[in-house]
Structure 1
């Protein structure tokens, strides 16, 4: 990530510092403090070694994440994909992605990290380069007091779905937080975003947020007030209805009590009258019985007295006495019968006395029930009066609360009016800013109109340049042929060996020198040429010269001049591969010619030429004709499996007459077999725009594969180079 540090920065905070590739830029800046946060223990130790004894730099071995982040850091074969979040669609994007190892790491929220760093002022610089944590970082900025602490933000937004992490629209969130977007660039798995803090936008955002909060609070209080008023009205209606019901119940109870008292009084009077009548009747009957009994007893006494008086006479008149005694006995029997009748007459009187006692008890019970009902009615009345008083107290409390709510509502309205006035002034400022923006847009439109004029001029210049380039190419081709013929003649006169060349595909002298210097400067394990040409001669001789010098010679000496053969020059450590240079060519006559010349110059141990007819090849929905070389490329990849190697890939064909973008399949085929190795890909002829477009498409494909690369175009030599996976 390329970052530019302003001069007024106080502190730089880098989340996911990795190997510290940006550290030299940070150290060159005027920042007083540089904080590098990296959870990988090995990378954190590497960073400490780099900044040893530098008081400006602090290395924190920690992971930044939210509640859903794991406490395990997973390190994959593509280093920039390491994360504390589990993989999502990234596994399908890179099927060959492998987990190298995992670390248990300490994790903290971004807000906790900011509190620990205790940032001062607003001129601080934030860089976030940790896949999946951008949502956690923005959440920490939103809910902390450090929102204004970072004036510049460089943030890597991971493409949605690649990790099982919280997703957020980074651009919208930054704009919401008061940042203006400066630039953004897309990579295969992420988008790099640069933004700076706009204090005006931040103030407007906070003002809008405060107004929204106040509006919601006002609406909530209004709703609460309406609800309270509605509840109060309902409670008042229920209280009044309940009071009416209680008063009705009290009236009914009082009416029932009066009726009950009247009924009891009437019943008591009736019972008293009945009792008095019954007692009077019984008394009369008792008096009659007593009169009858008294008269009968007196008669008996008289009879007994006569009997006693006549006892003397009884003795005298025994017969008469016995007769009289029988009469007396009869009378006594009658008296006894009368006594029984009297007793039978007195029995109903006793029952009626018992009934009278029972009636008296019932009267007492009715009186007691009446007293209990009266007490219950009294207690019910007291409870009703107490409930009524409680209802009145609650009603008064609700009225007091309603008054307080009205006062609070009035204060809120006043505060809202003040905020509305302040917002109106800010809105006016925003409108002024909008006018300025419109003016800038008008200026931009005029600039675009000028640019369109420049574009037309540019097209005319390109057409003219194309014509000039075509003329120069033809002149250059003639010059190359003359130069190559001259060099071949000099070689033949000096050594007696015929030159190894293919005149149909000449090589510019500058391009030839570039290739020779590259072979001289690098130790390539293998050189692959897709298409034969003058490069075949150059590459073979350059390797032979280098090897001859390594074993003690002064340079290349062909056999006729007494030099060593290529099989004698190749070092033993280099014999693990069949050959050093592999050439694929579809023209059979050209293949035979190169094989013959390589054999006559004793270069067969270095160069192997395959006859590879052009076959159909499909890639990204497009059809091509390209060399049939897949099997041989796989065999060479198997030789190199398990050890890091460096390869030189030279693209000479197929020729353009085969079709547009004829050499495009070269890089996809090479990457399918050698993507784990360091590659130098050289295209020996890029004189046309469509050829340069192929190089652009290759760069896009490398970005999608997340492979590191650098591109070098030497237009003066008509040559382009891609350095891939350079160590």
Structure 2
């Protein structure tokens, strides 16, 4: 059909190999024939044995079987065999019948492209004849951006749908044009099957890529301009703030200068007072020296008088005879001595007073000296530094006061919330006990939140789960069992639970071929295990829940070590019981508790499930999604699911502690 050299030619659904002679003429460097029907695959191996570059893959390309085995229907018209049941094919060929069914291996288009690993610099061609899957294959390759690896695509499209669940072909041409493919040829010789040849337009693709790059560059420049504008506004804001701070500092410096001038004036006054005090001290010292001289002279005079008195006393005996005649002279001497004594006492009193004045003057001098030193030290310090210290201290005091007020408010709100929660639960317990005669579930900081409990109840009531698995028991165990019992009453005609003598009984009796209980809960803490077991017995839920004591054991994966529940054998047993059917399973991951040393303690839960239950529909809920450790676990789970090519959807559940829900194989 074309003279362009082809490196790799991939043919999906070559049938009995009628096009192999044409491929020999084209001489591709590599020929890949993908055929699910065993008889055709064996025939293709014999026909292509002479071509060293030919490969035959005995499998089907399917977008909905997730690389798992599927049923392939072989009709008496072998080229019409398909993974789908016929619809319009019955009108086109009324005599068509099913000969047999085969279990064939399937591969998604993405997995097929990964296995092909086409060289980017070569020209490759794709031929699709996949009865009922052709439109789905092309759409998935286009949406994943993998179709551009082929420069030529040949399609065999039915004029009307021939199979059940076959996707309509109306949107396919527009999708191919969006991927820069142009319709080069269309063969309508067969009115029921049209053969189209599409060619990849490299120039159109490059123009679009250049336009995307230009658009991205413009967006980056706009973002950069917005950042520069924001920075300019911030600088302007800072400049205004700096100007305001400068004005405030200028005002403060002016006040400081005024205070310095006042301090200088006071210092001058104190220096003058100090000079006067020093002059007074000098005058006082002079007077004290004069008084000392006078006292010394008086003492000398007194000594001389004493000496003379002694002489008189000595001569008294001699003068007694002359006493009567010298009485007037003696009285005169006595008066003289009395006057001198008075003068001496007055001089001593004056000396005491001057000494007190001198002590008072010394104290005043010391006080003035201390004041002078303090003033000098204050002037020597940095006034601006004092101002900055005062401002920093003021800001620190305000920040501390704000922090204390915030903490006090937070503690008050927390206490109010805890008190309200306790009173609300107590009121609910009283009302529930009076109305129904049973104790309601109690929620705490370590149990699931009421919002998550509501999500779980809704899931159980809206889905007929075959099995519920719980990692970490507690109030959630009773909640799931009660929800399942309530759901059974709604699905009484089709459910698997019934009541017998007031006790919930499972119609699935314990055996090696079926499920012993509908809820499987793993618990590693012996105390919590006994508490949950007793609560289930008191509430009459033991027939619904199988509580498994599973201590934490060492578990290693990809070079990392974990401590996780000893649950491998139990999950393997469940997988054996569920073998041969596609079960719908709800999984709650609420344990084990994360620690600072091991934030990813719950990571192994998905690995245990996928090793044995990967073929079933899984609804997995990860509690405490507000924590960094659980968010890191979710990232690892996404990578693990993508590595296994398992389809999944995810949603965040709005609740107090956060929760993430993964829907796998839906």
Q: TM-score, normalised by structure 1?
A: 0.40
For the pair shown, the structure with the greater C-alpha radius of gyration is 1
